[in-house]
Amino acid sequence: MASGYTMMDPICLVENQNNQLTVNPTALEILDKISQPVVVVAIAGLYRTGKSYLMNRLAGQNHGFCPGSTVWSETMGIWMWCVPHPLKPNHALVLLDIEGLGDVEKGYSKNDSWIFALAVLLSSMLVYNSMGTINHQALEQLHYVTELTKLIRTKSSPSSGEVGDSAMFLSFFPDFVWVVRNFTLDLKLDGCTISKDEYLENALKFQVSEDGLGTLAKTDVDTINSGVVPYLENAVITLAQRENSVAVEKAADHYSEQMAQRVSFPTHMLQELLDLHAACEKETIAIFMERSFKDDNQVFQTKLMVTSAFPSHSETCFAPIVAMRKLFDEMEKRNQQMMEEKEKSFKGIIKKKKENFLLKNEEESLKYCQAQLTQLSKPLMEGILRGTFSVPGGYILYSGEMNKVEQSYELVPRKGVKAMEVLQNFKQSQAATKESIIQADKALAAVEKTLKESIGEMIEEMQKKNEQMKGEIYKIYEVKIKQLIEKMEMEKAQFMAEQERILNLKL
């Protein structure tokens, strides 16, 4: 039960009004708050026999359930009282006080059957309360319970290899205790003193008279016609659905918790995530199988009652029993189909959770790789904006920077499953820039080539002009020299003539 939570007074769990049974929502809310293991003790019996008094004693109180002192039945429906277990720590004791059976004022005996069936299905221990002795009327009223108890006892004594199945079976059906108050008879049988248990076992022996087979057949047909069997079918299916729904929820929560704890996103390789999934899935299936009400290896309990509770006779004598067997076979088939659908649903939940983890792993890998690549490519992007690669040979420079980015990205650890995809997307995003740099590089190379050719032609032209100028200057120089030589020769001749004249004069 929730820590520190105790019901001060009982509350009606199943209301019985106008021969209709309804579940009290407030009581369900109280049960939903219980997280501890529970021991459910239900008490049934004739009305006005002190059942409420016994339940108050079990609760350790002298009040709570209302014992009556008149001929009117005080308890209607099923009343519930949740208290701490007096002997088992961290356990809750749920006491169920059942509406008294056989109240003549109700005038609707079938309603007693529904109340009794609920007591069997809801309790882990069923107490039948009677007064004075174990009489024939009480035995008739308890026929259903004794047959079910005999079936439970047969199942609780498994043959080799069936211990686990038997334990599962007993976890869903109650033990049976018969309380006889104010017992007045001597405990003797055939002149010998017997124990209380031996007296009860003798009283519960199945006696078959001459017309026993006919009575047995009529009882079985009446059981089918009464609607009790379909009710039990619905109860088992509902129980299986509830238990398996809880099992699926618990197992799925375990899978989510373990995957969240063990997986470090993004995983380095996809196989790493798949290995963790396989380990968690194995644990999850084990939890589901432990908590589920699975009938795969457990033969449906009502079929055991048909095949083991009756001796072998001809099909003609047991035509109603054969009909019952067919009905139970159909019930088992439907229950098996329900279990298979629940298993598919369970596997679908795990598959969906696995897909969610795979998707999360991809998302984390994508974000991580994009962030790393953005940081590593920052110098490259800045160079593009500055026009670093808009020069002749710019594509070679650009390719070198791209190679540096890829090499650095390759060294980043735990990039995950989206590593290659992010790199390819980055390259694809750079495709237009790359093509622009290539075209600019080609254009600049063509311009440079044209410029070089033009400069070469200009130099060659200048060289030719220099040669021409040199030839003209040389000719002018030769004329000048010739003229100078002629002048010098003439002046020399004049000088020699003058000297000769002077010498001649002197002479």
pLDDT for 407 equals 92
pLDDT bucket at 190, cuts 50 / 70 / 90: confident
For residue 142, the tally of other CB atoms under 10 A from its CB is 23
- Averaged pLDDT, 44-57: 72
| 369-391 confidence digits (pLDDT tens) | 999 999 999 999 988 888 888 78
pLDDT for 83 equals 86
- Averaged pLDDT, 439-460: 75
Q: Which two tokens stand for residue 245?
A: 């729904």
For residue 176, the tally of other CB atoms under 10 A from its CB is 21
pLDDT bucket at 367, cuts 50 / 70 / 90: very high
Separation of alpha carbons 164 and 146, rounded Å: 24
Q: Regarding predicted confidence, which is higher, 46 or 416? A: 416
| 260-278 confidence digits (pLDDT tens) | 888 777 766 777 777 877 8
pTM score: 0.39
Give the chain's length: 507
For residue 76, the tally of other CB atoms under 10 A from its CB is 16
Q: Which two tokens stand for residue 150?
A: 């005999």
Separation of alpha carbons 61 and 319, rounded Å: 52
> Are 384 and 402 spatial neighbours (Cβ–Cβ below 8 Å)?
no
Indicate the SS3 state at residue 1.
coil
Residue 212 exposed, middle or buried by CB count within 10 Å (0-12, 13-18, 19+): exposed
Q: Which two tokens stand for residue 368?
A: 């991580």
Separation of alpha carbons 129 and 131, rounded Å: 7
Q: Report the range out of 41-55, 294-308, 336-350 with the highest average pLDDT.
A: 41-55
pLDDT bucket at 302, cuts 50 / 70 / 90: very low
Fill in the DSSP letter of residue 146: H
Separation of alpha carbons 349 and 250, rounded Å: 12
Q: Helix-strand-coil percent breakdown of the chain, rounded to 5?
A: 65, 10, 25
> Are 128 and 197 spatial neighbours (Cβ–Cβ below 8 Å)?
no
Q: Which two tokens stand for residue 201?
A: 């076992």
Amino acid making up residue 264: S
Residue 116 gets the label, from left (phi > 0), alpha (psi -120 to 50) or beta, of alpha
Question: 479: which residues sit within 8 A by CB, 6+ positions away?
Answer: none
Cis peptide before 392 (omega within 30 of 0): no
Percentage of the chain beyond pLDDT 70 is 58
Q: Which two tokens stand for residue 75?
A: 């308890």
Question: 6: which residues sit within 8 A by CB, 6+ positions away?
Answer: 82, 83, 84
Give, in degrees to the nearest 5, the angle at Cα 77 between 72 and 82: 115
Strands (E), 24-88: 38-45, 78-84
Least confident of 225-239, 275-289, 457-471: 225-239
How far CA 39 is from CA of 81, 151, 318, 438, in Å, comes to 12, 21, 39, 82
Fill in the DSSP letter of residue 100: P
Amino acid making up residue 177: V
Look at residue 84 and tell me whether its pLDDT is greater than 60. yes
Question: 358: which residues sit within 8 A by CB, 6+ positions away?
Answer: 273
Q: What is the set of domains in the chain, with CATH numbers?
A: 11-207 (3.40.50.300), 238-368 (no CATH)
Calculate the dihedral angle through the C-alpha atoms of 377, 379, 381, 384, rounding to the nearest 10 degrees: -140
Closest by CA position to 410, among listed 430, 394, 398, 426:
426
Separation of alpha carbons 483 and 101, rounded Å: 164
Look at residue 416 and tell me whether its pLDDT is greater than 70. yes
